[in-house]
């Protein structure tokens, strides 16, 4: 292994680990805002308790996400300086806007939400969590715009004197057709994760304490989590179908690699399971659904799907000698794990929704066991989706413009990259233990007592002289 290999491993580990926190942050922020809105409109204490309860889990996750996100961006300068030099004029713009606008919006209003429970008027306090949620969603848009440019470069030109990509149309970057479908697809995946967490925690309390005082509130939370997971699954399916067709247009090799399709087929079948050689170069046996790959790729049941061999010959003629084929076993199985784990999560959510129908309280220990695995399923599905997206683009770091091997820092040695990789991995492992322990600890505590302090709208001016007391 050389510095390039370790740099790729470090970026992969950092990216996947950071994205474990992103879906929960985006999804939970909006769901907590919805719960607080329900309390604001109805005055029902169960919504207030659920807001504070799941809000605390959201804040734990948000804090961890910030730490890992900072390291994520530092890597561009540390290990990928040639890439940063090439795309800095383009890539830096959405990242700067994300930091200066979206993240500041999110963090500022989240701070007001945390410390404003007994200080801000109820309506203004409610607005802070909605603005924080909007900030997290805007952050996703700018980050995905930057990533989508790597998948489908638009709105730029190559300066012949400097060899750098220069921005010519920022609107084109923000409205890249890959961004326009990746954004809703990613958001839907975020809500799958958040809905699954809300459902799991509610199921644990309902099944372990079926006659508890908070049973009605957790039944409400279980239904919210189940419906959110199911609705998000439907959205993931629809947007994923559209994304597959756009991906075939801009990166046909990625779709061929998702199937392990070596020869062009008309129509093309989709394999549910394939047994092949270890290097992924030849199929030995497969269970296939006829015409499905044609539909996923082109929207036509009899559409033509180009194979890996034909695309390799085409790219070699266009870009020069070399292999333009990603690692097929990784793309093949990550694509199927992404789909399969999402289906299982939806099935468990449907089971939980049935168990809580018409005021019923679930009692099945099997449902509890399945529910405890539920948050991991869409979380892993999201991770496998990103692994497929990034590994399927290889060997390109910017499709059609820059190879991954050309983007690595030339002055960083193997020991230096290995040291940072080992250090960050150990730190992340420690943070993972802390995160899980905190989430489990506060999830087990159950709903908080309702704050007896009068609502800010109902207090007189003398109440404002009291010291600031945060709910958390």
pLDDT tens, position by position, 381-397: 999 998 998 898 989 98
**pLDDT higher than threshold 60 for residue 472:** no
Neighbours of 48 (CB within 10 A): 22
Q: Average pLDDT over the chain, rounded to whole?
A: 82
pLDDT of 453 over the 60 cut:
no
pLDDT digits (tens, 9 = 90+) for 92-118: 788 778 777 767 777 788 888 888 888
What is the distance between the alpha carbons of residues 82 and 383, in angstroms, rounded to a whole number? 27
Specify which residues 275 forms β-bridges with: 285
Q: For residues 370 and 32, which has the higher predicted lDDT (pLDDT)?
A: 32
Q: Where residue 37 falls among pLDDT bands split at 50, 70, 90? A: very high
Q: What is the pLDDT of residues 155-189, one digit of tens each?
A: 888 888 888 888 888 899 889 999 999 999 999 99
Please give the Cα distance from 326 to 331 (Å, whole number): 8
Higher pLDDT, 106 or 46: 46
Residue 131 has pLDDT above 80, yes or no: yes
User: What percent of the chain has pLDDT above 70?
Assistant: 89
In angstroms, the Cα distances linking 354 to 104, 207, 251, 350 are: 41, 14, 41, 6
Query: In the prediction, which pLDDT does 456 show?
Result: 47
**Is the pLDDT higher at 339 or at 368?**
339
Tell me the pTM. 0.83
- Cα 340 to chain center, whole Å? 17
């Amino acid at each position: 292994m050389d510095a390039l290999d370790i740099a790729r491993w470090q970026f992969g580990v950092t990216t996947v680990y950071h994205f474990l926190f992103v879906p929960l942050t985006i999804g939970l922020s909006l769901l907590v805002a919805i719960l607080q809105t329900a309390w604001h409109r109805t005055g029902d204490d169960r919504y207030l308790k659920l807001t504070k309860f799941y809000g605390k889990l959201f804040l734990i996750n948000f804090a961890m996400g910030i730490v890992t996100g900072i390291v994520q961006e530092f890597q561009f300068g540390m290990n990928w300086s040639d890439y940063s030099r090439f795309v800095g004029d383009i890539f830096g713009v959405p990242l700067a806007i994300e930091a200066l606008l979206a993240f500041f919006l999110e963090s500022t209003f989240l701070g007001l939400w945390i410390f404003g429970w007994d200080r801000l008027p109820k309506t203004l306090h409610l607005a802070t969590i909605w603005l924080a949620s909007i900030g997290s969603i805007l952050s996703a848009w700018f980050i995905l715009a930057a990533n989508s440019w790597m998948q489908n470069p638009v709105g730029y030109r190559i300066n012949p004197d400097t060899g750098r990509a220069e921005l010519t149309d920022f609107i084109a970057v923000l409205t890249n057709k890959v961004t326009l479908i990746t954004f809703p697809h990613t958001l839907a995946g975020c809500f799958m994760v958040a809905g699954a967490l809300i459902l799991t925690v509610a199921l644990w309390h309902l099944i372990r304490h079926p006659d508890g005082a908070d049973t009605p509130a957790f039944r409400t939370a279980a239904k919210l989590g189940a419906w959110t997971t199911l609705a998000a699954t439907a959205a993931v399916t629809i947007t994923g179908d559209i994304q597959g067709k756009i991906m075939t247009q801009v990166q046909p090799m990625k779709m061929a690699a998702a199937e392990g399709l070596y020869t062009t087929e008309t129509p093309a079948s989709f394999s549910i399971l394939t047994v092949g050689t270890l290097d992924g170069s030849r199929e030995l046996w497969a269970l296939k659904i006829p015409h499905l790959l044609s539909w996923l790729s082109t929207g036509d049941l009899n559409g033509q799907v180009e194979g890996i061999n034909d695309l390799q010959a085409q790219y070699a003629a266009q870009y020069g000698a070399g292999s333009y084929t990603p690692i097929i076993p990784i793309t093949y199985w990550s694509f199927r794990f992404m789909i399969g784990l999402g289906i299982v999560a939806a099935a468990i959510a449907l089971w939980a929704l049935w168990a809580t129908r018409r005021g019923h309280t679930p009692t099945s220990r099997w449902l509890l066991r399945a529910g405890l695995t539920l948050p991991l399923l869409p979380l892993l599905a999201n991770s496998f989706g990103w692994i497929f997206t990034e590994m399927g683009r290889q060997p390109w770091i910017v499709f059609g413009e820059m190879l991954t091997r050309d983007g690595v820092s030339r002055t960083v040695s193997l020991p230096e990259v290995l040291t940072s990789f080992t250090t960050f991995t150990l730190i992340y492992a420690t943070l993972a233990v802390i995160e899980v322990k905190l989430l489990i600890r506060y999830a087990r505590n159950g709903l908080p007592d309702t704050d007896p302090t009068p609502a800010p709208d109902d207090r007189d001016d003398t109440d404002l002289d009291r010291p600031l007391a945060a709910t958390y």
